[in-house]
Structures are given as structure tokens and as C-alpha cells.
């Protein structure tokens, strides 16, 4: 499969996705559906998708933060499920998806400050708090947001990878090996090489075509800044462990078995083991629970209803 074919296909898919988004945004049939918006923050504009029930909901809004280098698209099904009885918002991390981003390597603290600005400009804060969920890189941002803006965050829900509590030396090694493409051409070449394995992995998951294609396309959107999120997460590693222990809000740990994490199992723990290890350490948190259900990395689409039910039971009863 040639890279010329990939470039042509990517362009066609992008144009098709744009047309689909325009039709959705302009629909006026009164049917509840996923919407999109932008809000100002330090790097420009923050893009988000949003779903909400008809009328006014008294339930606390929930904000979802994605993994790198994906975008909020990986939460479309979960946002639509959660949005049946509350406002549900999925944010594109600055520099990913439709969000403007920094021109130099940011830290998790930088990402958090930008997202906090966006949320404040949407009206959220101590008088109108949110519940926040983050997976992988998003878990770092969610944790930092909960600790630095405790009045804004009511509950913390985290999808932690097995190397979230990895030794500092391993995190330093991962950081040193992180490489950003030096050009768009290099990024496309890298995508070409990875495409067969992407297709093979997807055939064994619950991600339908073209869902995984849309997620894959967004993962290329950052081009030469594609690995900023991973680098920020690895660099934040030692502070992440400290920040977790400072969370005072109720915490839900979502156990997800991600095949991409399995190479780290020998040096760390499985996601379930790590969650059970972490639970008694969160001594400042008002309550800590673990949500296990045999979830895999495709669960945000394949089992969105199950995850949403687990989230609701926790945030509505604690």
C-alpha cells in the first residue's frame, strides 16, 4: 500500500468527515445529538463535543479528557450515552483534534491550565462544579485539575494504564525515546507503516469501521507535535504519583486492559493490580472505588452504556 494512496484516502476521508459534521451541526429536526463548540483559552480556542438531555438537568456535568495522540472522537459514544441525563462534554487536549495548541513542548500543568481556562469560560467553577474523567494522558490532566482547582471538580474518575505508577527510571527512558515527526511527510510515512497493524488490531475489537478511521485521522492532526502529549505524561510521572495522593474528592478507578500496555506488565502491574494497589494509598480522598468489568481499550465505543452506568452509580451516590 503506497503512501500516495494514503494521502489521497486521508484527504477524501477528511472532506467526508467535514461534510458529515456540517450536516449534523445544521440538523433542525429536534433530535438530541452530539454538538460541537469552541471556547477561548491561552493557546487560542479549545474544541469540545457536547451532549445534553432535553430540558434542564440537575445532575453535575461530566467532562472527559482523552489519551494521546487521539482526540475527543474516542468518546463520542460515551458522551452520547452520558448526555442522556446530564451535560457531557469531551474536550480536545490543546494541540489535538480541533483545539489550538502550543508551539513548544508543554507540561501537564500547561495543558491543565489551558483546559481550566476553557472550563471557566464555559461557566464552570466553584459555583458550578464538574465531574471529570481522564484516560491515560487525560488521567494526568484530570488529576492535576482536581488538585489545583478543587472547587471546580466534584468527583475524579481515572482510567490508569499499568505504567501510571512505573519507576521513574522507566518513565525517563520512555521520555528519551519519544520522537516527534520532523515534517508532515515523516508523519504520513510513519502512518503508512503502522496502518496494517492498526487494521489487524481493529479487526479484533469492537471498534466499527469507520469509527477507528476517524480516531486514527485525528491522531495525525498534530503532525510535528504529535508526541507532545506522551512526552508531557512521561515527564509528569514522578509528580503524578504525588498528586494522586493529594486528591481530596471521591475517586473512581476504571480498569481497562489495553493491549498496548502489555509490554510494561513485567516491570509494573496489570491495570487491575495497580488499581488495587493504589486504592488504600489515596488517604485524602473522601471515597475510592474500583470499576472492573472486563473492559478493553475499545470499551468507550463497544461498551459505552456499561461504562456510563458505572460512572452514574459512582458520581450520583457519593
* Measured distance CA(64)–CA(21) in Å, rounded: 20
Confidence of residue 22 (pLDDT cuts 50, 70, 90): very low
264 or 170, greater pLDDT: 170
- pLDDT for res 251: 98
Distances (CA, A) of 303 to 73, 206, 253, 293, 306: 15, 8, 17, 10, 5
pLDDT digits (tens, 9 = 90+) for 4-13: 444 444 444 4
Return the pLDDT at 259: 66
Is the overall model pTM greater than 0.85, yes or no? yes
Instruction: Identify the pLDDT of residue 164.
Output: 79
Predicted local confidence at residue 20, as pLDDT: 38
- Give the pLDDT confidence score for residue 249 in this predicted structure: 98
Residue in 189, 187, 197 with CA at minimum distance from that of residue 259: 197
Mean pLDDT of 27-44: 83
Average pLDDT, the chain: 88
* pLDDT reported for residue 17: 40
- Of the two residues 40 and 11, the one the predictor is more confident about is 40
Q: Look at 38 and 160; give whichever has higher pLDDT.
A: 38
More confident residue, 23 or 175: 175
Cβ 60 vs Cβ 88: under 8 Å: no
- Residue in this structure with the C-alpha cell 500496555, named with its chain if needed: 261
Domains and CATH numbers, the chain: 33-317 (3.40.50.1820)
The Cα–Cα gap between 260 and 242 comes to: 25
Amino acid at each position: 500500500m503506497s503512501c500516495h494512496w494514503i494521502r489521497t484516502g486521508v484527504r477524501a476521508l477528511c472532506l467526508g468527515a467535514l461534510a458529515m459534521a456540517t450536516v449534523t451541526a445544521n440538523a433542525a429536526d429536534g433530535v438530541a445529538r452530539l454538538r460541537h463548540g469552541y471556547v477561548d483559552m491561552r493557546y487560542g480556542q479549545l474544541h469540545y463535543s457536547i451532549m445534553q438531555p432535553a430540558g434542564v438537568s440537575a445532575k453535575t456535568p461530566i467532562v472527559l479528557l482523552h489519551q494521546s495522540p487521539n482526540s475527543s472522537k474516542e468518546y463520542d459514544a460515551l458522551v452520547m450515552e452520558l448526555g442522556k441525563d446530564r451535560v457531557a462534554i469531551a474536550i480536545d487536549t490543546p494541540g489535538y483534534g480541533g483545539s489550538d495548541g502550543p508551539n513548544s513542548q508543554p507540561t501537564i500543568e500547561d495543558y491543565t491550565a489551558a483546559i481550566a481556562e476553557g472550563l471557566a469560560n464555559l461557566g464552570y467553577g466553584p459555583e458550578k462544579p464538574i465531574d471529570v474523567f481522564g484516560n491515560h494522558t487525560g488521567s494526568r490532566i484530570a488529576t492535576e485539575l482536581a488538585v489545583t482547582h478543587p472547587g471546580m471538580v466534584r468527583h475524579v474518575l481515572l482510567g490508569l494504564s499499568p505504567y501510571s505508577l512505573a519507576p521513574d527510571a522507566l518513565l525517563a527512558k520512555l521520555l528519551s525515546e519519544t520522537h516527534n515527526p520532523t515534517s508532515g511527510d515523516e508523519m504520513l510515512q510513519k502512518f503508512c507503516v503502522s496502518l496494517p497493524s492498526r487494521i489487524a488490531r481493529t479487526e479484533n475489537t469492537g471498534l466499527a469501521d469507520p469509527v477507528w478511521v476517524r480516531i486514527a485521522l485525528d491522531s495525525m492532526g498534530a503532525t510535528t507535535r504529535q508526541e507532545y502529549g506522551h512526552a508531557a505524561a512521561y515527564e509528569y510521572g514522578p509528580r503524578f504519583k504525588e498528586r494522586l495522593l493529594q486528591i481530596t474528592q471521591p475517586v473512581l478507578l476504571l480498569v481497562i486492559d489495553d493491549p498496548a500496555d502489555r509490554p510494561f506488565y513485567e516491570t509494573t502491574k496489570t491495570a487491575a493490580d495497580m488499581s488495587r494497589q493504589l486504592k488504600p494509598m489515596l488517604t485524602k480522598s473522601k471515597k475510592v472505588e474500583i470499576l472492573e468489568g472486563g473492559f478493553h481499550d475499545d470499551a468507550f465505543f463497544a461498551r459505552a452504556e456499561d461504562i456510563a452506568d458505572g460512572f452514574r452509580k459512582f458520581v450520583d451516590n457519593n
